[in-house]
Amino acid sequence: MRSEEVTEADGRRRKGETMLATHAIEVPLPAGVEPTEDDLALLESLCTTIVGLRYAGSHAWEETLHKLQRCGWEVHWGLVWRAEARREGHIEQADGKTRDEAFAELWQLTRLDEVEGCP
């Protein structure tokens, strides 16, 4: 992944939003993938959401992180996919680094609720 500063406004900022700089990010895609306009819009939306999640609000989590580290904890964090299934008052949730991983885990969790195919 590479980023470079772009000094020209792209015209897509929200009204009233101020930014010091815009960065363009190159992201490698799997071989043979030709992104559509919808794909590009989705990627831009995801990046904007991630920036909002990372920089919006307080930074109290950083203080907590440092407290944990001072207490000897090795801390890892990141964004994940969450899959959720509900049926008749039962809820199963699974997280994964990829959507496939989250759904595979969710499938396993829902299978634990069934005996020989019967709920």
Model pTM? 0.50
User: Any residues with CB less than 8 A from the CB of 107 and at least 6 apart, and which?
Assistant: none
What is the reported pLDDT for 6? 47
pLDDT means per 10 residues in the chain (119 residues)? 47 52 83 92 88 78 93 90 93 93 95 71
Sorted by where each begins, the domain ranges of the chain are: 2-58, 81-111
C-alpha 92/C-alpha 90 separation (Å) is 7
What is the reported pLDDT for 96? 94
Judging by DSSP bridges, how do beta strands 22-26 and 81-87 pair with one another?
A: unpaired
C-alpha 71/C-alpha 12 separation (Å) is 44
What is the reported pLDDT for 116? 60
